């Protein structure tokens, strides 16, 4: 599960400059990243298709899986699926893109720090931990 941090402003600009082509790529990556938190083996096809054609429902489902995955891993994350649903219904899908990318950017550091410890063994050091 390698979630890439993306600059939201650059993503929005690329979406406009490429006349929406980058937006399709961005949706695919958002869906895969959000769903992979709960189940890395899930290919997120349902969420991708829904995010492209019924964005309010796609973002709702992806956020549900992201929240469930974070809860299962003990990562603090507020379930905003209803907000995604409402914003999608009123046509503010670009706000959904930004909110989900922000959640993934914030959660990436927390997810990485939870992967540092596995089966009670230290697999590596968190980035903010200083050498003694």
> pLDDT tens digits for the chain (132 residues)?
578 889 999 999 999 999 999 999 999 999 999 898 888 888 889 999 999 999 999 999 999 998 998 888 888 888 899 999 999 999 999 999 999 999 888 877 665 565 554 555 545 444 444 444
State the helix-helix crossing angle for 21-38 and 45-53, rounded to 10 degrees. 140
What pLDDT, on a 0 to 100 scale, did the predictor assign at position 112?
A: 59
Say whether 78 sits in a helix, a strand or coil: coil
- Residue 98 contacts by C-beta under 8 Å, 6 or more apart in sequence? 8, 12
Tokens of 55: 């964005």
User: What pTM does this model have?
Assistant: 0.78
What pLDDT, on a 0 to 100 scale, did the predictor assign at position 41?
A: 86
What pLDDT, on a 0 to 100 scale, did the predictor assign at position 129?
A: 46
């Amino acid at each position: 599960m390698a979630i890439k941090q993306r600059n939201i402003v650059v993503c929005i600009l690329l979406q406009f400059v490429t006349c929406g082509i980058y937006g399709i790529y961005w949706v695919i990556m958002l869906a895969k990243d959000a769903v992979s938190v709960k189940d890395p083996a899930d290919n997120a096809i349902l969420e991708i298709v829904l995010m492209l054609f019924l964005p309010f429902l796609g973002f709702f489902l992806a956020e549900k899986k992201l929240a469930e995955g974070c809860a299962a891993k003990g990562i603090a994350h507020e379930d905003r699926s209803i907000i995604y649903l409402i914003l999608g219904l009123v046509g503010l899908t670009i706000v959904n893109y930004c909110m989900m990318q922000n959640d993934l950017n914030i959660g990436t550091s927390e997810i990485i720090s939870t992967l540092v410890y596995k089966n009670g063994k230290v697999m590596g050091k968190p980035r903010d931990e200083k050498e003694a």
